[in-house]
A = this chain, B = another copy of it.
Amino acid sequence: MIQQIVLKSRPVGVPTSANFEILTIEIPELAKGTVRLKAHTFSVDPYMRGRMSEAKSYVAPFAVGEPVMGGGVAQVVESRAEGFKAGDFVLGMVPWQDQMVVDAAGLQVIDGNIAPLSYYLGILGMPGMTAYFGLLDIGKPQKGETVVVSGAAGAVGIVVGQIAKIKGCRVVGIAGDQSKVDYLINDLGFDAAINYKTETNIAGVLAAVCPDGVDVYFDNVGGEISDAVISQINKGARIIICGQISLYNATSQPVGPRIQPTILKKSALMQGFIVSNYASRFPEGFKALAEWVGSGQLKYTNTTYHGFEKLPEAFIALFEGKNLGKLIVEVK
A253 and B263: CB pair below 8 A? Answer: no
Taking residues whose C-beta sits less than 8 angstroms from the other chain, chain A's interface range is 35 or more
A57 and B265: CB pair below 8 A? Answer: yes
Output the nearest chain B residue to A262 by Cβ-Cβ distance: B272
Most chain B beta-carbon contacts within 10 A, residue among A219, A243, A258, A269: A258
Residues in chain A within 8 A of chain B (CB atoms): 50, 57-58, 219, 222-223, 226, 235, 241-244, 247, 253-261, 263-274, 277
Instruction: Indicate whether A264 sits within 8 Å of B254 (C-beta atoms), given known contacts A58-B235, A235-B58, A259-B259.
Output: no
Which B residues are in CB contact (< 8 Å) with A50?
Answer: 265
Known: A58-B265, A241-B263, A247-B261. 12 other contacts (CB 8 A): A226-B260, A244-B260, A244-B261, A247-B258, A255-B257, A255-B258, A259-B259, A263-B270, A263-B271, A264-B273, A267-B277, A268-B271
Q: Bound complex: CA of A242 vs CA of B260, how far in Å?
A: 9
Q: Bound complex: CA of A256 vs CA of B260, how far in Å?
A: 11
Instruction: Indicate whether A260 sits within 8 Å of B235 (C-beta atoms), given known contacts A267-B272, A267-B277.
Output: no
Nearest 9 A/B pairs, CB to CB: A264-B272, A263-B272, A270-B270, A254-B258, A241-B264, A267-B272, A269-B271, A267-B274, A256-B258
Which B residues are in CB contact (< 8 Å) with A254?
Answer: 257-258, 261
Q: Bound complex: CA of A50 vs CA of B266, how far in Å?
A: 13
Minimum CB–CB distance for A240 against chain B, Å:
10
Instruction: Indicate whether A222 sits within 8 Å of B258 (C-beta atoms), given known contacts A57-B265, A265-B58.
Output: yes
Most chain B beta-carbon contacts within 10 A, residue among A243, A253, A260, A270: A260
Output the nearest chain B residue to A219 by Cβ-Cβ distance: B260
Which B residues are in CB contact (< 8 Å) with A274?
Answer: 264, 267
What are 17 pairs between A and B in contact, CB < 8 Å?
A50-B265, A222-B261, A226-B260, A241-B263, A244-B258, A244-B260, A244-B264, A247-B258, A247-B260, A255-B257, A256-B258, A259-B260, A260-B270, A264-B274, A266-B272, A267-B274, A270-B271
Q: Bound complex: CA of A260 vs CA of B269, how far in Å?
A: 12
Partner pick for A260 among B222, B255, B264, B267, CB 8 A cutoff: B222
Minimum CB–CB distance for A217 against chain B, Å:
11
Minimum CB–CB distance for A105 against chain B, Å:
24
B263 and A268: CB pair below 8 A? Answer: no
Which B residues are in CB contact (< 8 Å) with A265?
Answer: 50, 57-58, 272
Most chain B beta-carbon contacts within 10 A, residue among A219, A255, A263: A263
